[in-house]
Amino acid sequence: MVDFGLQIEPQFGFSYDEVLNLASSLTEHGYTSLWASDHFMLSQGDTERDCLDCWSLLTGIAAEVKDIRIGSLVTCMSYRHPPVLAKIAASVDRISNGRLEFGVGAGWKDIEYKAYGIPFPTPGERVDRFLEGMQIIKGLWTQPTTSFEGKYYAVDNAVASPKPVQSPHPPILIGGARPRMLRAMAKYADAVNMLGARGPEEYGQLLEKLERYCAEEGTDFARLRKTHFMTFVVGEDQNDLSDVLARVSATEGISVEEYRSRRARAFIGTAVEAVELLKRYMGLGVTQFQTVFPYQEEKRSLKLWADRIIPAL
pLDDT digit string, tens, across residues 152-190: 999 999 999 999 999 999 999 999 999 999 999 999 999
- What's the whole-number mean pLDDT along residues 118-127? 96
User: What is the rounded CA–CA span in Å between residue 239 and residue 140?
Assistant: 54
Per-residue pLDDT, 45: 83
Per-residue pLDDT, 196: 78
User: What is the rounded CA–CA span in Å between residue 174 and residue 191?
Assistant: 7
pLDDT digit string, tens, across residues 198-212: 899 999 999 999 999
CB distance 92 to 191 below 8 Å: no
User: Is residue 287 domain-resident?
Assistant: yes
CB distance 12 to 313 below 8 Å: no
- What's the whole-number mean pLDDT along residues 270-285? 98
- Given pLDDT bands bounded at 50, 70 and 90, which one contains residue 51? very high
Query: Does residue 264 register a pLDDT over 90?
Result: no
Q: Which amino acid is at 304?
A: L
CB distance 33 to 101 below 8 Å: yes
**Beta-strand pair 75-76/191-193:** unpaired
Per-residue pLDDT, 110: 96
Query: Does residue 195 register a pLDDT over 90?
Result: no
DSSP class of 269: E
* Stretch (H or E) spanning 208: helix 200-217
Taking the model in full, what pTM does it have? 0.96
- What's the whole-number mean pLDDT along residues 75-101? 98
Per-residue pLDDT, 141: 98
Range of the domain at 70: 3-239+266-312
CB distance 59 to 95 below 8 Å: yes
User: What is the rounded CA–CA span in Å between residue 192 and residue 213?
Assistant: 13
Per-residue pLDDT, 7: 98
User: What is the rounded CA–CA span in Å between residue 258 and residue 263?
Assistant: 9
User: Is residue 257 domain-resident?
Assistant: no
Per the prediction, the chain carries an average pLDDT of 97
Domain count, the chain: 1
User: Is residue 252 domain-resident?
Assistant: no
Who's near 257: CB < 8 A, 6+ residues apart? none
Per-residue pLDDT, 86: 98
**Beta-strand pair 146-149/225-235:** unpaired
- What's the whole-number mean pLDDT along residues 8-20? 98
User: Is residue 132 domain-resident?
Assistant: yes
The answer to which of 43-47, 135-139, 291-295 has the lowest mean pLDDT is 43-47
Percent of the chain with pLDDT over 70: 100
Cα-Cα-Cα-Cα torsion 133, 88, 114, 126, nearest 10 degrees, comes to: 10
pLDDT digit string, tens, across residues 95-107: 999 999 999 999 9
Comparing CA positions, the residue from 232, 291, 235 lying closest to residue 263 is 232
User: What is the rounded CA–CA span in Å between residue 75 and residue 23?
Assistant: 19
User: Is residue 254 domain-resident?
Assistant: no
* Stretch (H or E) spanning 256: helix 256-262
Report DSSP letters for 2-67, one per residue.
-EEEEEE-GGG---HHHHHHHHHHTGGGT--EEEE---S-SSTT-TTS----HHHHHHHHHHH--S
Query: Does residue 148 register a pLDDT over 90?
Result: yes
Per-residue pLDDT, 209: 97
Burial label for 223, CB within 10 Å (0-12, 13-18, 19+), is exposed
- What's the whole-number mean pLDDT along residues 250-272? 94
User: Is residue 250 domain-resident?
Assistant: no
User: Is residue 84 domain-resident?
Assistant: yes
Q: Find the CATH number of the domain harbouring 57.
A: 3.20.20.30
User: Is residue 256 domain-resident?
Assistant: no
Give buried/exposed letters for 12-41 (b at 16+ CB in 10 A, else e).
Answer: bbbeeebbbebbbbbeebebebbbbbbbbb
